[in-house]
Amino acid sequence: MSHARNSKPELRHDWSVDEVERLIARPFMDLLFEAQAVHRGHFDPHTIQVSTLLNIKTGGCAENCGYCSQSAHHDTELEREQLLDVDAVLADARKAKEAGIGRFCMGAAWRKPNDKDLDKVIAMIQGVKALGMESCVTLGMLTGEQALRLKEAGLDYYNHNLDTSREYYPQVVTTRSYDDRLDTLAHARKAGLSVCAGGILGLGETRRDRAAMLVELANLPSHPQSVPLNKLVKVPGTPMADLPDLDDLEFIRTVAAARIMMPASHVRLSAGREAMSDEAQALCFFAGANSLFYGDRLLTTDNATTDRDRDLFQRLDLHALAV
């Protein structure tokens, strides 16, 4: 069955925070209607891009991100682990491939990788590519030379989130600057890597902070190819464990704004889905989310189970993007 495509508006890189704050505040039904129309202009509305994420190095990170279970600054009772063996990672990748998943993502709890560890990650990337899958890694800050090495190894996507607005950022992390994050994204773009960059909602930020974060992403020289939107998973032992829950409808508004502002990007539902109702996730998809992480775990936190996702896809007449 063919799907009507609306004319595709020109991609913008000149958004203002005031404009986006007004966009998020539009009447809910109007906002979602526009987001769905934009979504249909660029994507099949019944298709979801599905990835899986494996923690290849757990805990002991030198950063002090206030939400993170893997920070060495927080007592979360997480057992530190060394970088996984290449063969073990590729065994997981093969299982994901057999399950019909097209993109395999690998995350390491580092401030930045050293060259020895990067050699092992490159072997993992090459193995994933040999399976016919797309590859994505998140390794912390990169130099330009490291980004080029990853590109030459065949890496498709580099993930590096902004987390929040520039203004609110010092309330979240102080061990690296906002410009450090933007520099890493610039190195990835210059190397020719696709960029996966988004943020976390529910860190105690305001709606204006959420608008400002989306402006930072949409006003980059090119829009991130993937925009993961995470809802804070509160981990005991972290400074942000006792924050109030973000309203799901506010999260959905942010998804819709991201879709309107970055119409050709995949907008991904990432952490926090496990606690969302099926109805809230359905509204996220209607608002333009068209990507998610599949699997029972996301790094160190629970994710919606694969059985629940299969059931939800069936009930919503959605299907995973073909491998």
pLDDT single digits (tens) 177-230: 899 999 999 999 999 999 999 999 999 999 999 999 999 999 999 999 999 999
CATH architecture entry for 47-313: Alpha-Beta Barrel (3.20)
Count of beta carbons in the 10 Å neighbourhood of residue 136? 23
For the chain, helix, strand, coil in percent to 5 are: 40, 15, 45
- Beta strand spans in the chain (E): 47-57, 103-108, 134-138, 157-159, 194-196, 199-201, 226-231, 266-269, 291-293, 297-298, 301-302, 319-320
Choose from 109-113, 255-259, 317-321 the range with maximum mean pLDDT. 255-259
Q: What are phi and psi of 311, to 5 degrees?
A: -65, -40
Which residue would you say has higher pLDDT here, 95 or 212? 212
Domain boundaries, the chain: 47-313
- pLDDT reported for residue 116: 85
| Active site residues per annotation | 61, 65, 68, 105, 136, 196, 268
pLDDT of residue 231: 92
Tell me the two tokens of residue 139.
């390794």
Average pLDDT over residues 142-162: 94
pLDDT at 10 over 80: no
Identity of residue 256: A
Q: What is the pLDDT of residues 153-169, one digit of tens each?
A: 999 999 999 999 999 99
Q: Which of 7-16, 126-135, 197-206 has the lowest mean pLDDT?
A: 7-16
Structure tokens at 132: 């016919």
Q: Chain centroid to CA 234: how far?
A: 17
